[in-house]
Amino acid sequence: MDSIDKNILLLLQKDGKITMKEIAERLHLTTTPIFERVKKLEKDGYIDSYKAIVNRKKIGLQLLAFCNITLNLHQKDFIKNFEKDIHQFPEVVECYHVAGMFDYLVKIYVKDMQHYQDFLSNKLASLENISKVQSSFVMTEVKGFSYLPIP
């Protein structure tokens, strides 16, 4: 990957709808090599997919919570079951198996605190092998995900 490929990745991360022509103009190249480079970046797995970033508040998801989850048992089957089961909840948008004081960090979007209570009591608590859940609620989103730095 050279500096042109890195710049293409940065431009696409900032604006997934940018045209090949616009990329070419910004990088002082023609459209054909840009198109070929983008296709190669896709083929080589540098670009996973293209998505629209939806404004969560406009669709009524006012509350952002992070849950630290600890499991009772850490055998392979219990870990796999938890990771499979967590996929069933649309409120969970990200889940990470982490090292440290907790086993998982889970990012959750819901309408409000009442919906979070319902999620916690009726969905998350239905999973086997959870011993502890510690929740943190976002008061202000200082910097949300925008794009990855390309070294």
Distance of alpha carbon 130 from alpha carbon 124, whole angstroms? 9
Q: What is the CATH number of domain 63-137?
A: 3.30.70.920
Instruction: Give residue 95's region: left, alpha or beta (phi > 0; psi -120 to 50).
Output: beta
Distance of alpha carbon 65 from alpha carbon 45, whole angstroms? 31
Q: Which CATH class is domain 3-43?
A: mainly alpha
What integer pLDDT is reported at residue 36 of this predicted model? 97
Query: Whose CA is closest to 83, among 104, 68, 100?
Result: 104
Tell me the one-letter amino acid at 59. I
Domain extents in the chain: 3-43, 63-137
Written as tens digits, the pLDDT of the chain (151 aa) is 999 999 999 999 999 999 999 999 999 999 999 999 999 999 999 999 998 889 999 999 999 999 999 999 999 999 999 999 999 999 999 999 999 999 999 999 999 999 999 999 999 999 989 999 999 999 999 988 778 888 8
pTM: 0.86
